[in-house]
């Protein structure tokens, strides 16, 4: 029998047939259970509807019991770290973040569970790129909002632009009766229940994950159709900075410094291969860079987009999109910075400060 952790608000057992629940409260106690259904309770109701034979652990990281809930990143990291000691087989995680700089705390924490635990995580309901959902070692989930599947059914999309590859239909009549619409959050326990049922057959973790990756194909591709979807947030134009360097490491450093010093969120389109970083998208073809920029503007919470490539790329890119600042690396740990018909020589150590200065005037 697998052990499932729902990291969320407190779960009310009265709504899941008084099933035994192991409670871990990281909020320091306080607050009475509301008569209204909490977010965690609804997730548990979906899980109970779909799954059989499991042990339920409720790790509470949210004080609020109703409405939209917010929590601290530190509590989420603590909850995930507890999952190893609690011998959790599957984590049901609707507590996600679209602040991609939070990845510096979450990536290692989730990766430490890779050997023993399957993490199932929701896409942000407004379809911003989300962590830990977008990680390659996490099963990212989204609701079948197009209604192409039956309730409780799953499908897989290989090229989902948010890396939330698993689609699940959670449009159950009991949710509608409770006046709750299907959402990415409630799609997660549908997938968790499917994984639980496979684990109960004695299949090892790796085999279960392989079966998820080989689900039937989802019949609708969303590669860039979201760009013209009026139900999603308004397109924003953010500054574009071209960086001529020999790798994406420079932009990763700049992104870290801009967040640490100024709380500026940034992302990168890279023409170089690089280690995984959720803020960096590696480009296969420079000709599609306009669509990639548009996607980042709309679906990344980013205040600034870097484009990392060789100096020979810049003329081609200029013909496709507007560049606000150009940074050309010199051999003496300095960059030539070009902006607004000006040119300055800027030391590497001062780049983040200078960028912030000229882009916030």
Which position has the higher pLDDT, 159 or 205? 205
* Shared domain check, 246 and 218: no
Tell me: do 280 and 144 sit in the same domain. no
Give the pLDDT confidence score for residue 213 in this predicted structure: 96
Instruction: Kindly indicate the confidence band of residue 214, based on its pLDDT and cuts at 50, 70 and 90.
Output: very high
Closest by CA to 54, choosing from 107, 113, 1, 109, is 1
Pair 160, 248 in one domain: no
Q: How confident is the model at residue 28 (pLDDT cuts 50, 70, 90)?
A: confident
pLDDT in tens, 220-273: 865 545 544 444 455 568 999 999 987 788 899 999 999 999 999 999 999 999
How many structural domains is the chain composed of? 2
Burial class for 28, CB neighbours closer than 10 Å (0-12, 13-18, 19+): exposed
Task: Return the HEC string of 111-180.
Answer: HCCCCCCEEEEECCCCCCCCECCCCCCCEEEEECCCCCCCCCCEEECCCCCCCCCEEECCCCHHHHHCCC
Same domain as 321, residue 180: no
- Taking only the tens place, the pLDDT of each residue in 292-339 is 999 999 999 999 999 999 988 999 999 999 999 999 998 778 999 999
- State how far the Cα of 241 lies from the Cα of 136, in Å rounded to an integer: 27
The Cα 28–Cα 3 span in angstroms is 24
88 plus 178 within the same structural domain: yes
Say whether both 263 and 219 belong to one domain: no
Q: What pLDDT score does 224 carry?
A: 44
Distance CA 26, CA 301 (A): 28
Question: Backbone phi, then psi, for 319, in 5-degree steps?
Answer: -75, -15
The verdict on 218 and 281 lying in the same domain is no
Same domain, 212 and 252: no
Query: Could you read off the pLDDT of 30-76 as tens digits, one per residue?
Result: 555 556 789 999 999 999 999 999 999 999 999 765 445 556 899 99
**Which range of residues forms the domain containing residue 324?**
240-359
* 295/292 Cα distance (integer angstroms): 5
Which DSSP letter does residue 283 get? -
Same domain, 216 and 276: no
- For residue range 186-200, what is the model confidence (pLDDT) as tens digits? 999 999 999 999 999
Taking all residues of the chain, what is their mean pLDDT, rounded to a whole number?
91
Which whole-number Å values give the CA distances from 72 to 41, 134, 174, 321, in the listed order? 20, 20, 31, 38
């Amino acid at each position: 029998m697998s052990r499932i952790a729902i990291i969320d608000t407190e779960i009310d057992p009265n709504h899941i047939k008084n099933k035994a629940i192991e409670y871990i409260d990281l909020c320091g106690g306080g607050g009475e259970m509301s008569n209204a259904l909490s977010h965690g309770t609804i997730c548990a109701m979906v899980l109970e509807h779909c799954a059989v034979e499991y042990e339920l652990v409720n790790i509470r990281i949210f004080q609020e019991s109703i409405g939209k809930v917010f929590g601290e990143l530190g509590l989420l990291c603590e909850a995930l770290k507890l999952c190893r000691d609690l011998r959790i087989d599957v984590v049901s995680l609707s507590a996600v973040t679209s602040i991609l700089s939070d990845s510096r705390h979450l990536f290692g924490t989730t990766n430490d569970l890779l050997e023993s635990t399957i993490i199932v995580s929701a896409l942000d309901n407004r379809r911003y790129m989300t962590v830990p959902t977008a990680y390659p070692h996490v099963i990212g989930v989204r609701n079948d909002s197009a209604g192409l599947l039956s309730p409780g059914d799953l499908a897989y999309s290989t090229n989902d632009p948010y890396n939330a590859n698993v689609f699940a239909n959670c449009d159950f009549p009991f949710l509608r009766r409770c006046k709750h619409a299907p959402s990415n959050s409630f799609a997660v326990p549908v997938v968790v229940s499917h994984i639980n049922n496979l684990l109960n057959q004695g299949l090892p973790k790796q085999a279960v994950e392989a079966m998820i990756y080989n689900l039937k194909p989802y019949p609708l591709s969303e590669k860039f159709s979201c760009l013209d979807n009026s139900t999603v947030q308004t397109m924003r134009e953010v500054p574009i900075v071209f960086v001529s360097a020999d790798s994406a490491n420079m932009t990763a450093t700049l992104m870290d410094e801009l967040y640490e010093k100024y709380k500026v969120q940034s992302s990168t389109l890279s023409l170089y291969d690089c280690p995984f970083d959720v803020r960096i998208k590696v480009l296969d073809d420079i000709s599609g860079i306009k669509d990639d920029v548009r996607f980042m503007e709309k679906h990344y919470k980013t205040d600034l987009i870097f484009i990392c490539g060789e100096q020979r790329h810049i003329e081609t890119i200029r013909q496709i999109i507007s560049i606000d600042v150009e940074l050309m690396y010199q051999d003496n740990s300095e960059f030539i910075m070009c902006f607004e018909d000006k040119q300055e020589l800027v030391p590497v150590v001062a780049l983040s400060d200078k960028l912030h200065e000229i882009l916030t005037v």
